[in-house]
Amino acid sequence: MYKQIMIFNKNIDLEIGSVYVMFNNYLSQDNKLDPSKKIFYINLPFHNSIKISEYIDNKDLSIENYEKLIKKYNLEFIKPKEIIDVFNQLVYAIINEIESYDIFIVGTMGIDFESIKLILKELLNIAETYEKIFIFIQNESKNLDTLEKVDLLKLNDFEAWYVNKLRDNDDDAFVFKQR
């Protein structure tokens, strides 16, 4: 089954129960986002995207609550710890909102290379089990609006697949990539 949404001024069909990465070398405030109440936008540079720092205000950020959510959604690779860094805040926000939204559009700003791989691995199972759609936006890309569905083959060869989509010969293209 597919669902159509508008993202960055064009309609796209997304398969329910899937995880995607959009490689986009220019994110503009002028780009239109689908105003649907069933789409959760977080960590993107848009006025209608939730900033992580705003999201975590007035939330229960205890390790116990985080651990319950991690167990509830069978996250294998993410270990509960203090929710103080962008990675854990983002994981917390996503799993805290699973039941409220159908589509999650997530910016990768401030998330390192290994953490993106880890989140994508975990979300594959959640997407299939709960019939959700996840789109990660990587805006340091040599490509414009390339949308790719994530699968285990791509995750197994993550560095070749993901990093090769980033800007050519530019060490700043993926600032957080570990060498």
Structure-block tokens of residue 100: 């409220």
Residue 91 lies in a domain: no
Residue 62 lies in a domain: no
**For the packed helices 86-96 and 63-72, what is the interaxial angle rounded to 10 degrees?**
60
Q: What's the Rg (C-alpha) of the chain?
A: 16
Which run of H or of E encompasses 108?
none
* 47-80: pLDDT as tens digits: 778 999 899 999 999 999 999 999 999 999 888 8
Q: Given this model, what pLDDT does residue 177 score? A: 34
Cα 46 from Cα 33, distance rounded (Å): 9
Q: Structurally, how many domains does the chain consist of?
A: 1
Residue 80 lies in a domain: no
Residue 175 lies in a domain: no
Cα 98 from Cα 100, distance rounded (Å): 6
Residue 111 lies in a domain: yes
Cα 41 from Cα 72, distance rounded (Å): 22
Residues 43 and 135: beta-carbon distance below 8 Å: no
pTM here is 0.85
Percentage of residues of the chain with pLDDT beyond 90: 43
Residues 150 and 128: beta-carbon distance below 8 Å: no
Residue 178 lies in a domain: no
Confidence check: pLDDT of 134 > 90: yes
* 107-123: pLDDT as tens digits: 888 888 888 999 999 99
Q: In which domain, by residue range, is 140 found?
A: 2-52+96-163
Higher pLDDT, 27 or 174: 27
For β-strands 18-23 and 133-138, DSSP reports them as parallel
Residue 63 lies in a domain: no
Structure-block tokens of residue 108: 């990768």
- Give alpha helix (H) positions in the chain: 52-55, 63-72, 86-96, 113-130, 152-156, 158
